[in-house]
Amino acid sequence: MEKHELQVVIEDLHERYGRLTTGEVATYIPELSKADPERFGIAMVSSSGQLFKTGDCDVPFTIQSVSKPFTFGLAIEAYGAERVSQYVGVEPSGDAFNAIELQHGTNRPFNPMVNSGAITVTALLHAKYGRETFDIILDRTSKAAGRPLVVDEAVYESERRTGHRNRAIAHLLLNFGLVHDEAESAFDVYFRQCAILLTAVDLATMAATLSNMGQHPVTGDPVFDLTSTRAMLAIMFTCGMYDYSGEWAYRVGVPAKSGVSGGVMAVVNRQLGIATYSPRLDTRGNSARGIETCVELASRFGLHAFDCLNVGSSFLTTML
Ligand code: GLN
């Protein structure tokens, strides 16, 4: 049987960008420095559940910051958008993901995709769910992936031991009353959520769940409601790639989120979930191969949100 065109293309990208060796594996969480820099996987899942994959797609890595949109979605569902916005904004910060800063005037974190915002969101969930918070996060991310996910205890321990910068952020939040007094427990949940283990196939499936308006692409299970799905996609579109978010929106033009272990998740609304895994990061903390792969995929298939009338996207719609 002839290979599907999307499969041919991802194999070609894998071959070409696999030669790219720029960037460095993150080392500030000691356990992450053990990652094999050569790992490279690309996976795509259509909103109707078709899977395309190549390379190291079944190699587990920790979700890290890619967990942030999901916890934000959970907070929207738990509190409503209005209430959440009293604690965290929706503006790109233009600064590094771990910047120790809050928005001038409001003293809120700029958005839930930077560490200060994500810690605030997890603390909000913790204020509501207490000890069950992590299980609720794990359960929902597992539902989005379509299989039970687990935590990499070594990465969790490693970050808990060394995450002083995040601790400083948590104290700043405490100072402004943005997190409750049990900040330390909430904070522990944040480290655990970052250490959830998954593969590029899982991540592409989670992206496809978002592309499919919150329903799992294969089982049809409702995972997120429409309001939270819209909120997650919007915030990923404007803030998902840290201080590269503007350029990403310009060049790739789809909601996305990256993580420091080398994962990138991108969502083509109503069509496709894309995930790449490659641990070498560029200076902004985004996977170097992941970025190049997504840039080329977007231009080849017209995935950019504002390409919607061109031949490319109609081409993709008819292919899936
Ligand atoms: N756990 C990481 C941290 O808080 C997540 C950051 C990231 O993936 N960019 O530093």
Predicted pLDDT of residue 313: 55
pLDDT band at 184, cuts 50/70/90? confident
- For residue 288, give every residue at least 6 positions away whose Cβ sits within 8 Å of its Cβ, in sequence order, or none: 20, 22, 23, 278, 280, 281, 282
- Cα(108) to centroid of ligand 1, in Å? 19
pTM of the entire predicted model: 0.96
Q: Which two tokens stand for residue 123?
A: 């603390």
Task: Say whether 68 is catalytic.
Answer: yes
Ligand 1, atom nearest to 194 Cα? 1
Question: Known catalytic residue: 190?
Answer: yes
**Cα(113)–Cα(196) distance, integer angstroms:** 17
**Which residue from 159, 188, 265 has its CB within 8 A of the most atoms of ligand 1, so it is best to mutate?**
159
> Which pLDDT score, from 0 to 100, does residue 194 have?
98
pLDDT, tens digit, for every residue of 97-154? 899 989 998 999 999 999 999 999 999 999 999 999 999 999 999 999 999 999 999 9
Cα 285 to ligand 1 centre (Å): 9
**Which residue did the predictor score with more confidence, 314 or 9?**
9
The answer to whether the CB of 285 is under 6 A from ligand 1 is: yes
- Is 70 exceeded by the pLDDT of residue 312? no
Q: Measured from the CB, is residue 243 less than 6 Å from ligand 1?
A: no
Split at pLDDT 50, 70, 90, the class of 182 is: confident
Question: For the segment 61-74, what is each residue's pLDDT rounded down to a tens digit?
Answer: 999 999 999 999 99
**178 in helix, strand or coil?**
coil
For the question of residue 277 being annotated catalytic, the response is no
Ligand 1 atom at shortest distance from the alpha carbon of 261: 8
Distance (Å, whole) CA 84 – CA 67? 17
User: Which candidate in 114, 260, 264, 267 is catalytic?
Assistant: 260
Task: Report pLDDT for 314.
Answer: 53
Give distance in angstroms: CA of 195 to centre of ligand 1.
10
In tens, the pLDDT along 32-90 reads 999 999 999 999 999 999 999 999 999 999 999 999 999 999 999 999 999 999 999 99
Catalytic site includes residue 242: yes
Q: pLDDT > 90: what percent of the chain?
A: 86
- Cα-to-centroid distance, 194 and ligand 1 (Å): 7
Q: Which of 17, 79, 242, 244 is catalytic?
A: 242
Tell me: pLDDT of 29 over 90: yes
Residue 65 Cβ inside 6 Å of ligand 1? The answer reads yes
Is pLDDT above 60 for 160?
yes
Domains present along the chain, CATH in parentheses: 5-64+198-313 (3.40.710.10), 65-194 (3.40.710.10)
Quickly state the pLDDT bin for 294 (edges 50, 70, 90): very high
237-285, pLDDT tens digit by residue?
999 998 999 999 999 999 999 999 999 999 999 999 999 999 999 999 9
